[in-house]
Structure 1
């Protein structure tokens, strides 16, 4: 079963198997969150629930939301003692405001950033905190440039295919300040990321994350694009037989004004 977000599809088990670095790198953001026993915390874009489970070890009451029903089903299977819900983080609301919101590697998929920011502010109690890490300006630029170049050369590219929102710190801080947050700390850092699966790493990455580009194509066209993107990115991203992708992340700590 696959779930569409626009044209993006998710295979939850393959995601866990080949892209486990996503939740692995999120451990530092959990430290920024510093969850406390009894707190109500929303995991905004929880994926298959690994970091929700980590947060729950503190004794916090965690509720994970994600747009992908398959991701949520996998999270419920792995962590049946925790609370998960299929929901669109761009518009989700709750009756009971939370003490904190945590989000890892999710906000850059929510292209309606103003609505997402408002939804998060509305879901927090006054003085509640937001800790998020996501793709910042320049994230995976080698791949996104190659996708655009290759597909444009074949006449297959449309700007609407781009599924990502990668802001600068200034852009994002300004956005959430407008909806009532006070930004306490923010960093924008490079994090070169080794892909798993050796030579197949880039192809697996494209299959997992570039569906909004590739799923518009026929099987033959898709094969052409994947192979040409691999060759265009190889000089920049292949090091000693491993794919190393130019990830750039924003990590931010903000508090909702009282």
Structure 2
């Protein structure tokens, strides 16, 4: 994850467990073997890193957020953790696999990150990843921009990268990674609680509002949720309009 993002581990774990719960199927695709060296890139608070370790792999969790790494260390002190920016990882042909769930879309320098992943992998090593794909949370982002532009003349730039399959395939292949699987799919995602949408925005998109005075920021958040309610609030529950890009590539 980007060093430019400030993360709230408590809100993440309390309200957004779906991030790692939905990522468990990606571990099945990874199929970690005992003794394999695996890098969990953008490990967050470590739940999936621990799942990989339970399979017997020698896993290292890496994240660019000091808050997330500290929480991961508290959650799973028996595992290894490293604070680092993905584009500048200091690894050279050290890993049998790089695993990444819901993290690569925060890394705007996609080509540099792909080169670092390729360097980190042994020959024949694999990248197994899922990230936000083209059109991810399009309705949410449209509402955020609409409201944010009413409150400030200079709306902050997006801090996410949601590529199409063809776009991301080109990035990976230019670094010597061969695509074996790549698919883009819709995955409407249930958010937790009556304030699920506002909690989601606070966790993942608050940078659009954090320059506003607190009372105005909260008012903008309320307006955003109201704008989204006809589209993304169904049968008493909030949903996020997720589109995911899932892939396997081999060096």
Question: Do both proteins adopt the same fold according to a TM-score greater than 0.5, normalized to the shorter chain?
Answer: yes
How many Å apart are 1:95 and its aligned residue? 4.4
Query: Partners of 1:11 and 1:4 in 2: how far apart?
Result: 14
Matched with 1:230 is 225
Within the candidate set 235, 246, 258, 2:241 is matched to 246
- What SS does the corresponding residue of 1:147 show, helix, strand or coil? helix
Q: Secondary structure at the match of 1:183?
A: strand
User: Residue 219 of structure 1 is aligned with which of 170, 191, 214?
Assistant: 214
Q: CA RMSD in A?
A: 1.5
Residues 39-48 or 81-90, more deviating? 81-90
Secondary structure at 1:179 match in 2: coil
Partner-residue secondary structure (3-state), 1:53 = helix
| Pairs within 5 Å for 1:82-97 | 82-95=79-92, 97=94
With the length of structure 1 as denominator, give the TM-score of the two structures: 0.94
The yes-or-no answer on 1:111 pairing with 2:108 is: yes
- Structure 1, 104-113 or 142-151: larger mean CA deviation: 142-151
Q: SS state of the match for residue 128, structure 2?
A: strand
Is residue 2:177 matched to residue 1:181? yes
Question: Secondary structure at the residue paired with 1:81?
Answer: coil
User: Could you tell me how far apart the structure 1 residues matched to 2:116 and 2:220 are?
Assistant: 37
Runs of 4+ in structure 1 deviating by more than 2 angstroms, as ranges, are 3-6, 153-158
Q: Report the equivalent of 2:44.
A: 47
Equivalent in the alignment of 2:3: 5
| Partner residue, 2:148 | 151
Q: 2:23 aligns with which of 19, 26, 31?
A: 26
Structure 1 CA distance, aligned partners of 2:130 and 2:19? Answer: 11
CA distance in 1 between counterparts of 2:21 and 2:152 reads: 38
With normalisation by structure 2, the TM-score equals 0.96
Name which of structure 1's ranges 94-103 and 73-82 shifts more when overlaid on structure 2: 94-103
How far 1:17 sits from its partner (Å)?
A: 1.1
Number of equivalent positions: 251
CA distance in 2, matches of 1:250, 1:149: 26
Contact map agreement 1:161 1:212 (CA 8 A) in 2? no
> CA deviation digits over 1:23-82, x for unaligned, max 9?
000011101100001100000000000000001111100000001111111111111111
Return 5+ residue gaps in structure 1 as ranges.
none
Matched, 1:194 2:190: yes
Q: Contact 1:9 / 1:211 at 8 angstroms: preserved in 2?
A: no
Unaligned 5+ segments in structure 2 are: none
